[in-house]
Amino acid sequence: MLLIVNIAMLIFMLAPLLVVVWMSTTPTQLFILPFTDFSLRWYSAAFAHPGFLEAFWLSVRLAFVSSLISVVLSLLASYALLRGRRVRGLELADGLFMSPLIVPAVVFGIAMLQFINLIGLYNTFASLVLAHVIIVTPFSIRTLQSSLRALPVELEWAAENLGASRLTVLLRIVLPVCARGIMAAFLLAFLISFSEVTVTIFITGPGYQTLPVRIYNYLTDQVDPTVAAISTMLIVLSIVLALLLDRLGGLVNLKK
């Protein structure tokens, strides 16, 4: 009985994705089912649309920069929380790092809009990076903390007893041993940043529209299978990155 329920839930979750993939090959402009002829014309239309290509590369740049900054900051924060001196307020700091997961995305988006307007960064790449770093940092910290907990602290003590400084221990022992966890944190942050739309739509301007925002704006003007073709390619990209993340142990670390 449990197996039947699990299969039904799997079908329920995957059915919309399969429909999107199916509709991306329709030869007509309307979403009409069923159809017997298949065509790749909408994939050609997606690549021929300059707005989608520009938005894709902007999303890639934004996700890469945001993930890189987030992983560096998260590694330092995680190391300080787990290996630093046990002082009052560490639990509060850990909770503050996780707070973006609690605040509703709409509320956070409005707050970020007010803040970037106040400091004069509206419609800039820096404002997008700032918002995305805040969004993805909790996931990076969660993954890196799991990797650091798996590292025996005795290795660090042995290196320090032999004269290594704390910086040397971090660079020569922690980084190599936790390399898989660091890469997993980067990939997870990249996936989340690349697909983020709720907060981004508040702070993005006409000159910096990420791919999810561009798709949303495209759908407000017209509806055709071009979006289905783009969505299919994003589904494939997400599956590939998720499989790579799972191989690195990132999904397992996220559960801990």
- SS3 labels along 165-213: CHHHHHHHHHHHHCHHHHHHHHHHHHHHHHHCCCCHHHHCCCCCCCHHH
Whether 97 is in a domain gets the answer yes
Tell me the pTM.
Answer: 0.84
Asked if residue 30 belongs to a domain, the reply is no
**Tally of domains within the chain:** 1
* Residue 214 located in a structural domain: yes
Residue 228 is assigned to a structural domain of this protein: yes
pLDDT tens per residue, range 12-24: 888 888 888 888 8
- What range defines the domain where residue 104 resides? 54-255
Q: Does any domain span residue 134?
A: yes
CATH of the domain at 214: 1.10.3720.10
Q: Is the pLDDT of residue 224 over 70?
A: yes
What's the pLDDT score for residue 89? 66
Does the structure show a pLDDT above 70 at 250? Answer: no
- Residue 119 inside a domain? The answer is yes
Burial grade of 34 (CB within 10 A; 0-12, 13-18, 19 or more) = exposed
